[in-house]
Chain A
Amino acid sequence: MHPAHRPLRRAVAAATIALLATAVGCAPQPEDSASAAPSGPAAKSCAKGGLATKTSGKLTVATDEPAYEPWFKDGKPADGKGYESAVAYAVAKRLGYDRSAVVWQSVPFNKAFAPGVKTFDFDINQVSISAERKKAVDFSSGYYDVRQAVIALKDGKAAGATDIADLKKLKLGAQVGTTSLDYITDVVKPTREPAVYAKNDQAKSALRNGQVDAVVTDLPTAFYITAAEVTEAKIVGQFENQGGAPEQFGLVLDKGSALTPCVTRAVDALRKDGTLARIEKQWLSDAVDAPVLK
């Protein structure tokens, strides 16, 4: 060992010790959510405008960016236009937060479900409720009964499909993380591997370019795409719901959030008094029925 290396070694050792000390010294922040999870609606009174929200007196609502039609209008969730924007404001009103007290936040789909402290009170982003997903997050009750539809170019191979068997030999596409993809893999069971896209935008251009024969999306999105975005496409048909129970979109909350029972109660009340139906008529009214593919 050359004596010249001594100071260097000491420095390295000191730096290591300092680093470890920092690591230990990083006081872990306790999570204040899951531990104090009230279960049952009576756990906390849902005081109007006085919920234990992220920012006191404000309700922070998250959605992904870009926000798509017909759920939001012009990519601006905050203006109350579009089905989900209107629903979010209706829920907020039920909880006692008027429009000025609602703060919108852009949170990517995947980030909304990561463990750790959530930055929002609830997320509204066409997320289908499932038993499996309930292990990771809390859902409110469903605010929209969704069905899945097949879009194809009017002069394409899939345009004349009348039942599921007609789709089996085709190249189908859907967005990742959607139930649309589950319908392809579990219901259609096509012979060719489906194309899976990060965003519906890419699925649309693939449909235009003939890289896929048909794309599966939820019905309102399908209506919007065929009416406004890919006008050379049409809706071939819709699927029946899997397993009897209707598929529903729900608001996403942190696992064990104190707000879940309150938000659920608000959504239930909106369904009961016809508000949800009214909003649906206003923003999704042209989503009339498409032929059912059996």
Chain B
Amino acid sequence: MAAPEGGATGEGASGDGYVPSERRLARERYQRARAHRATAVAALSTLVTAAVLYLVVVGAPGWQRTKETFFSAHYAREALPKVLEGLWLNVRLLLICGVAVLVLGMLIAVARTLRGPVFFPLRVLAAAYTDFFRGLPLIINLMIVVLGVPALRLQGVTVDPVLLGGTALTLTYSAYVAEVFRAGIESVHPSQRAAARSLGLTNRQALRHVVLPQAVRRQVPPLLNDLVSLQKDTGLVSIGGAVDAVRAADIIVGRSLNYTPYIVAGLVFVALTIPMTRFTDWVTARMDRRRAQGGSL
């Protein structure tokens, strides 16, 4: 809810002897009054909405049982330490796979945007990779990698379900991220590349110093989307038997038939996502501020 746009206020007379006119003061009074009214209306409508939702949920005939089954303090207390223990696995996977995905995705994106006929096979391979792994359902990818690769009994290839699961996640997500990067690279205006080349930069230097920095900066929000999505999908490595936050909740649910642990796990994931989002918002805002000042070359 944005307050109506007020212009610059005519606060006090700054050295130039400016005195705001009667009309201007009246206008500002009017705008302030409008802003107050808007805030009051927003508060009231929020209250009404909350009250209605509360009454609908709590007044439902099944509320008592729903409350016991989904919001039991006893099971929440039991689940939280176990869920957090499992979450450590999610976080480790997110950090390692996140870095791998960014690097691999960037390489694939660059491979797809290389110019020159000599790179044709590389471009085709990169395009085939993104097409295949973006289309392949993640759960099937995980099944094949986590349960299928060990069946090959290859010497020196790990059978650790977490490592294999991380590999599968990296394969799928680097395909997503490669497309995000490629869109970013292609959204940089050709004049930028032309200007860089005319300054005597090679193709590679132009990409490295002119195109990619602009591309990456534009891609922060969609990249964050993919990272948050990856963070939640790390839980799917539990296919191979590893216990992550969701599986830890699963174990308690299966024993007790009470669903509260799922709620706990869900809230823990949300709590993990929010700081990440705020952090990237802050990074983006800082980059924008720098750019607005003419950038630091």
Known contacts A28-B59, A28-B60, A28-B61; A110/B253 CB under 8 A? yes
CB <8 Å contact, B242 and A195:
yes
Known contacts A29-B61, A115-B62, A176-B250; A195/B161 CB under 8 A? yes
Number of residues from B at the complex interface, CB < 8 A: 39
CB <8 Å contact, A209 and B61:
no
In angstroms, Cα B158 to Cα A211, docked, is 10
CB <8 Å contact, A177 and B159:
no
Which residues 146-169 in B have Cβ within 8 Å of A in the complex?
Answer: 147, 150-151, 159-161
Contacts of B62 in A (CB 8 A): 28, 31, 115-116
Q: Does B277 lie at the interface of the complex (its beta carbon under 8 Å from any beta carbon of A)?
A: no
Minimal beta-carbon separation of A257 from chain B (angstroms): 13
Q: Does A208 lie at the interface of the complex (its beta carbon under 8 Å from any beta carbon of B)?
A: yes
Q: Does B284 lie at the interface of the complex (its beta carbon under 8 Å from any beta carbon of A)?
A: no
Which residues 67-113 in A have Cβ within 8 Å of B in the complex?
Answer: 109-110, 113
Q: Does A114 lie at the interface of the complex (its beta carbon under 8 Å from any beta carbon of B)?
A: yes
Interface-located stretch among A47-55, A197-205, A232-240, A258-266 = A197-205
Interface-located stretch among A18-26, A140-148, A223-231 = A18-26
CB <8 Å contact, B241 and A202:
yes
Q: Does B121 lie at the interface of the complex (its beta carbon under 8 Å from any beta carbon of A)?
A: no
Contacts of B242 in A (CB 8 A): 195
CB <8 Å contact, B241 and A208:
no
B contact patch SS: helix
Q: Report, as a range, how many residues of chain A touch the other chain.
A: 35 or more
Give the interface centre of B49, B62, B243, B254 by most chain A CB atoms within 10 Å. Answer: B254
Contacts of B258 in A (CB 8 A): 135-136
Known contacts A133-B256, A136-B256; A195/B251 CB under 8 A? no
CB <8 Å contact, A205 and B147:
yes
Q: Does B219 lie at the interface of the complex (its beta carbon under 8 Å from any beta carbon of A)?
A: no
Residue ID in chain B nearest A1 by CB atoms: B4
Minimal beta-carbon separation of B58 from chain A (angstroms): 11
Minimal beta-carbon separation of B93 from chain A (angstroms): 15
Partner of B239, one of A20, A113, A202: A202
Known contacts A30-B61, A110-B253, A136-B257; A210/B159 CB under 8 A? yes
Partner of A23, one of B53, B247, B253: B53
Q: Does A219 lie at the interface of the complex (its beta carbon under 8 Å from any beta carbon of B)?
A: no
Q: Does B273 lie at the interface of the complex (its beta carbon under 8 Å from any beta carbon of A)?
A: no
Known contacts A23-B52, A211-B159; A196/B243 CB under 8 A? yes
In angstroms, Cα B59 to Cα A29, docked, is 11
Known contacts A132-B255, A211-B240; A177/B147 CB under 8 A? no
Minimal beta-carbon separation of A213 from chain B (angstroms): 12
Residue ID in chain B nearest A136 by CB atoms: B257
Q: Does A178 lie at the interface of the complex (its beta carbon under 8 Å from any beta carbon of B)?
A: yes
Known contacts A20-B49, A29-B61, A176-B254; A115/B241 CB under 8 A? no
Contacts of B45 in A (CB 8 A): 16
Q: Does A11 lie at the interface of the complex (its beta carbon under 8 Å from any beta carbon of B)?
A: no
In angstroms, Cα B255 to Cα A182, docked, is 8
Q: Does B34 lie at the interface of the complex (its beta carbon under 8 Å from any beta carbon of A)?
A: yes
CB <8 Å contact, A177 and B253:
yes
CB <8 Å contact, A196 and B247:
yes
Known pairs A1-B4, A24-B56, A135-B257; list 6 more (Cβ under 8 Å). Answer: A23-B56, A115-B68, A176-B254, A177-B251, A193-B243, A211-B241
Top 10 A-B residue pairs of the complex, sorted by shortest distance between their CB atoms: A177-B254, A195-B241, A209-B150, A136-B257, A113-B257, A115-B65, A115-B69, A30-B61, A28-B60, A133-B257
Query: Can you list 6 contacts pairing A with B, beta carbon distance less than 8 Å?
Result: A28-B59, A29-B61, A136-B69, A176-B251, A196-B251, A206-B241
